Amino acid sequence: MLKKLNKDKNLLKANELAIAGRFLEAVEIYRDLADQDTRDFNVKFLLGLAYLQSDQFHNAIKELQDCLEIKPNLLLANHALGCALFMIEEFEASIKSFDLEIEINPTYADAYSDKAYALNELKRFNESLDMAKIAKQLDPFYADPYNAIAASLNEIDQYDEAMENVLRAIDIDRSKPNYTYTLGNIFLNKGELCNALNSYKTALELNPKYEEASFNKSLIYLRLLDFESGWKLYEYRFTTYPKESRNRFITKDFFGKNIDSLERIFIFKEQGIGDQILYASVFNEIDKKENIIYIEINEKLLPVFNRSFKNLKFVTAKNYPNADSYDSTFGIASLPSFFRKNINSFHIDRDSFLLSDIDKTSKYRHRLLSEAPLNKICGLSWYSKNEAIGKYKTLDLINFKEILEIPGITFVNLQYNSTVEELELFQSTYKVSIKNFNEVDLFNDIDSLCSLIDACDFIVTISNINAHVAGALGKKTFLLAPFSRGRHWYWHDNLTKSLWYPSVEIFSQNETRDWSVPINEIKENIVKEIAHE
């Protein structure tokens, strides 16, 4: 009897600590109780919850799984397990747990709402929307379903309805930072940058450790040319990378430091090939004999980077330097924070920083002009396969019809994933011509792509690798930039010329998905340029 009284007393104390938010203290008591009776599913459940509340997610998963082995149909246990799995980004597994909870407890709104969040992470937005709507029907005064609905609607571009739902969530519960974060994301997609910034600030006031909000703030600051504020927060980018591609080296604020003070450096690669070219725009400022700097890059860039920079040591994952070869390490996207501290720091006496293979460039140009030697040569690309934002940057080839009809121009295809059949059908239908270099692998052979672009007089492209290559070569480029969603921060708002690539002119949409205005502006500019020749 005494043993049971002590157990009940300790269990009561642990419960009181948990209710008071003192989860670490509660864990200690629950753990002792669980050790005393390994078959007590209730204690294991409470221990799992305490672990979950104290962010010890792997421990929570273990205890909750043990609990469910003993009592498979215990109310709320599957839901708690699903929440723990969600927090370690095991979204498919979390959905299975939420489904089990729904099967046991079909009127429990939280399970539907949290399943909606997991589906949203997996980009199954319509399914997410369905789950969140069920949760809302079950409990119209529960804020989470409204936020889940808003997050899903935002992803499928239904911004007005998304805004209505997130404001309803905030009206019900103003204490949740993820609601104002969702609000910021909606404002961002609508192009209302100041409102988005204020929303992220509110989210961070509610939770100063909200890393995604800090990162999104950095993107807005950088997009609006506030480099001092932007670079300081840009280090939060690592927390937003896909789980499997996060680098274990987390850097710090380098904004106020001199790179020479870091001595021997290893700079690891991150982001895509186009981004690596963008950050290479500052390589000339560190390309010195006295520096020992290793830079990891995509191996496709090795030929052109080795040609363009004489002292930097470029490596790939196949030939990492030994750890004792360097003293400091950081990501390549941190490099500009040393050198691009304000707008004036972009004013350098250099319009290009990459060099193409001269012989190959000459050969391509000669071939392109063989049929019409007096023509200008225009490289063209129109498609992005980026899963998240590609559709906002991509045009149909038909959008270029009026540009392709301008006389005196030889057009060459730079679109790596276009098919010969697609080009032939378009050309036969609209009586225009686009030359295709079948022997050049536009996806894998970046060195030949550089020469093909350098052989052109000018480029018309969307925001993809061709924009970066052309800008890095100093090639005159007409860039088609989306209105807001899909627009990278480095195509800064309200600028008509790129800070990063002086040869790139930016032509922006006035509204999402409507390319008519920038296309017409580019056409007029090309016609004027040819007329002045």
**pLDDT tens digit string along 177-190?**
999 999 999 999 99
Please list, in sequence order, all residues whose beta carbon lies within 8 angstroms of the beta carbon of residue 42, skipping any fewer than 6 positions away: none
- Sequence letter at residue 36: Q
The answer on pLDDT for 369 being more than 80 is yes
Q: Is 276 helix (H, G, I), strand (E, B) or coil?
A: helix
Residue listed under structure tokens 């090795």: 302
- pLDDT of 323-337, one tens digit each? 899 988 889 999 999
First to last CA, the chain: 101
Report the percent of the chain where pLDDT is more than 70: 96
- pLDDT of 376-430, one tens digit each? 999 999 999 887 888 999 999 999 999 999 999 999 999 998 877 888 899 999 9
- pLDDT of 470-495, one tens digit each? 999 999 999 999 999 999 999 999 89
Query: 3-state SS of the chain: helix, strand, coil percent to 5?
Result: 60, 10, 35
Mean of pLDDT values over 69-73: 96
Report the percent of the chain where pLDDT is more than 90: 82
- Name the pLDDT band for 452 (thresholds 50, 70, 90): very high
| Residue-wise DSSP of 401-416 | HHHHT-TTEEEEE--T
Mean of pLDDT values over 275-295: 94
Give the ranges where 224-344 is alpha helix by DSSP (H): 227-234, 273-279, 302-308, 336-339
- Name the pLDDT band for 1 (thresholds 50, 70, 90): very low
- pLDDT of 109-119, one tens digit each? 999 999 999 99
Ordered by where they begin, the domains of the chain are 2-208 (1.25.40.10), 259-346 (3.40.50), 358-532 (3.40.50.2000)
Q: What pLDDT does 422 receive?
A: 83
Mean of pLDDT values over 125-142: 98
| Residue-wise DSSP of 401-464 | HHHHT-TTEEEEE--TT--HHHHHHHHHHHT---B--TTS-TTT-HHHHHHHHHTSSEEEEESS
Mean of pLDDT values over 243-269: 71
Decide: pTM greater than 0.85: yes
Q: What pLDDT does 2 receive?
A: 42
Cα torsion through 220, 223, 227, 229, rounded to 10: -10
The mean pLDDT value of the chain amounts to 93
What are the tokens at 193? Answer: 């940058």
